[in-house]
Every structure is written in structure tokens, then in C-alpha cells.
């Protein structure tokens, strides 16, 4: 009979838990994703503009989850570099990066506030790109890691009355598909989530409460909970382009074969108040 004894240090050495960094984590899809990743055994780095809202996340996350909250306006210049520096300083190894932060605006382009439109581009495009570069490079060097960029079904078409938002999401889809091929040989998996209409605070900020898109009985806006559940599940399974909901898949597919003038007309009709 053989007895096996373990060294005390082996018994007490803590196991490494994977870390998920989620931007725009204080509400909506990002908040729901934070809860799901925590339930799946991840520690969290949560990023949003408001420190108070970030701290509220802790009340709905299991006590054994380590939550690092970093209040930061990611639409500001050098925000991505500041976030990366903060995680480096805390010696956090990010295993999953979720680029969820973003916003939109509704109205005739030339009548919207130019500064706000440029800030929208900065957050939805520039910051996402920079974070993918910072963390993607680190992941590639380690030979492992996952990135989930949140786009939209808006990525598959032009969007009159939400011109900048649709254009930024088209960038996110195209960019994500490109780097998923580049990073795959390095052991880094990239996916892109393309939700359709979803009930979140995003709708209020964009001034979209009254548009036909959210009144259309065929579109059936989804809840942030459902989008997050589908998104995380398929992401961790390795699906590349994730479109939650049958109707959203159908619309994205139909846009590829419909005449462009018709796609523009329909989008304009749905986005107009």
C-alpha cells in the first residue's frame, strides 16, 4: 500500500481564475455579461464612466469573485492606454476582453451635434481598436486569450438617421473578422456579437424611444439578459459571428441580397421618429 503526501505549499497555493475585462459594464448587456462571466468562475475587471454604478455590480456578483472596478470615460483621448496601464499596474492578466462600451445618436446627420458624433466614433471605433491592439498583442505573446467585440445588426447595412452609429458598427464587424484570421494562429480567438434591437439604457441616450424600429411588431426587441446569455454562451463555444434571435439573423441575411436602395429606404423608415 502506497501513501501519497502533498507538500503544504501545494495544498495552499491558490488556483488561477481567468479574468474577464468588460467595458460598458455598469448597465445593459455589459452588466448582464459581467454576472454571467462571474457565475462561470471568472474574476472581473469592469469599466464604465460612473464609479458609483460600477460599485453596485459587486452587490449582484458572487462573493468569491474578485471584482476590480475602473471608472473611466473611454471616449476620451488616451483612455485605452490608461486602462491598459491600470491593469498592468495591478498585475492583472486579462484572459477575456469584451469591448461592449458604445453609444449612438438619432437624427438627421447635419443637424446633430458634431462634437458628440466624433465622440461616438472615438468610443465605438478608436477605443475598441486600441484595446484590441493592447490586449491582443499581450494575448498573442502568451499564445492564449479571447476577444469579444460588440457590434450590431446595424453593421450589415447603412442607417439613415443613425448614420454614424451604423457606420461604426460596420467597422467593428469588418475589423473583428479581419483580426480573427490574423490572431487565430497565435492562439487568440476573436468573435463579434451583433444584437438587434435590445431594451437597454442605450435607447434612451440615443433618443430612440419613439422610433419605429422599437414599435415594429416583427422585430421583437430582445432583453439585455437574453442577448448576454446567448452572446457569452456562443462566444465561449468559439462561434465567430453571433447574431441573437431568429428575426435578427433573417434581417442580416436578407440585407446581403436586397437592392441597396431598398435597404436604405427601410432603415430610414425604421429609424425615423
44/30 Cα distance (integer angstroms): 12
- Dihedral angle, C-alpha 127, 58, 33, 141, nearest 10 °: 50
**What is the side-by-side order of every strand in the sheet holding 96-99?**
67-71, 43-48, 19-23, 96-99, 145-150, 188-193, 241-242
Residue 269 burial (C-beta neighbours within 10 Å; 0-12, 13-18, 19+): middle
Residue 215 banded pLDDT, cuts 50, 70, 90:
low
71/55 Cα distance (integer angstroms): 10
Residue 267 banded pLDDT, cuts 50, 70, 90:
low
Residue 10 banded pLDDT, cuts 50, 70, 90:
very low
Mean pLDDT of all residues in 138-162 = 96
The dihedral through the CA atoms of 230, 206, 175, 49 has a sign that is: negative
Which of 57-61, 202-206, 212-216 shows the highest mean pLDDT? 57-61
**Three-class SS state of 191:** strand
Determine the pLDDT at residue 16. Answer: 76
Of 16, 20, 18, the closest CA to residue 31 belongs to 20
Q: Can you tell me which residue has the cell 469584451?
A: 98
Q: Can you tell me which residue has the cell 493592447?
A: 134
Q: Which of 107-116, 216-225, 241-250, 260-269 bottoms out in mean pLDDT, i.e. has the lowest?
A: 260-269
Determine the pLDDT at residue 226. Answer: 96
Domain residue spans of the chain: 16-271
Residue 57 banded pLDDT, cuts 50, 70, 90:
confident
Mean pLDDT in the chain?
87
Model pLDDT for residues 170-191, shown as the tens digit of each residue? 999 999 999 999 999 999 999 9
Of 61, 93, 165, 155, the closest CA to residue 123 belongs to 165
Query: Which member of 42, 135, 161, 165 is catalytic?
Result: 165
Residue 36 is placed in which grid cell? 454571467
179 DSSP 8-state letter: H
Architecture per CATH, 16-271: 3-Layer(aba) Sandwich (3.40)
**Three-class SS state of 26:** coil
- Residue 265 above 80 pLDDT? no
Model pLDDT for residues 36-50, shown as the tens digit of each residue? 999 999 999 999 998
Residue 252 banded pLDDT, cuts 50, 70, 90:
confident
Mean pLDDT of all residues in 50-69 = 89
Is the separation of the CB atoms in 23 and 101 below 8 Å? yes
- Residue 202 above 70 pLDDT? no
Q: Percent of the chain scored above 70 by pLDDT? A: 82
Of 37, 29, 75, the closest CA to residue 197 belongs to 29
Residue 233 banded pLDDT, cuts 50, 70, 90:
very high
State yes or no: is 161 an active-site residue: no
Determine the pLDDT at residue 254. Answer: 74
pTM, to two decimals: 0.86
Amino acid at each position: 500500500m502506497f501513501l501519497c503526501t502533498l507538500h503544504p505549499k501545494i495544498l495552499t497555493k491558490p488556483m488561477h481564475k481567468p479574468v474577464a475585462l468588460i467595458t460598458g459594464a455598469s448597465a445593459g448587456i455589459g452588466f448582464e455579461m459581467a454576472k454571467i462571466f462571474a457565475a462561470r468562475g471568472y474574476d472581473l475587471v469592469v469599466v464604465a464612466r460612473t464609479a458609483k454604478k460600477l460599485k453596485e455590480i459587486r452587490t449582484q456578483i458572487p462573493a468569491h469573485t474578485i471584482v476590480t472596478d475602473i471608472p473611466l470615460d473611454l471616449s476620451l483621448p488616451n483612455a485605452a492606454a490608461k486602462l491598459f496601464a491600470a491593469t498592468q499596474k495591478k498585475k492583472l492578466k486579462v484572459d477575456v476582453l469584451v469591448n461592449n462600451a458604445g453609444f449612438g445618436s438619432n437624427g438627421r446627420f447635419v443637424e446633430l451635434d458634431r462634437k458628440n458624433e466624433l465622440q461616438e466614433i472615438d468610443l465605438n471605433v478608436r477605443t475598441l481598436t486600441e484595446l484590441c491592439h493592447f490586449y491582443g498583442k499581450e494575448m498573442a505573446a502568451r499564445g492564449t486569450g479571447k476577444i469579444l467585440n460588440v457590434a450590431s445588426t446595424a453593421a450589415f447595412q447603412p442607417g439613415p438617421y443613425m448614420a454614424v452609429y451604423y457606420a461604426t458598427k460596420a467597422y467593428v464587424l469588418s475589423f473583428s473578422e479581419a483580426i480573427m484570421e490574423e490572431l487565430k494562429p497565435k492562439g487568440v480567438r476573436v468573435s463579434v456579437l451583433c444584437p438587434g434591437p435590445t431594451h437597454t439604457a442605450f435607447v434612451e441616450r440615443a433618443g430612440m424611444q419613439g422610433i419605429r424600429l422599437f414599435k415594429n411588431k416583427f422585430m421583437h426587441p430582445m432583453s439585455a439578459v437574453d442577448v448576454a446569455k446567448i452572446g457569452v454562451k456562443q462566444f465561449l463555444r468559439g462561434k465567430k459571428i453571433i447574431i441573437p434571435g431568429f428575426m435578427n439573423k433573417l434581417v442580416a441575411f436578407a440585407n446581403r441580397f436586397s437592392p441597396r436602395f431598398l435597404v436604405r429606404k427601410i432603415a430610414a423608415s425604421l429609424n425615423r421618429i
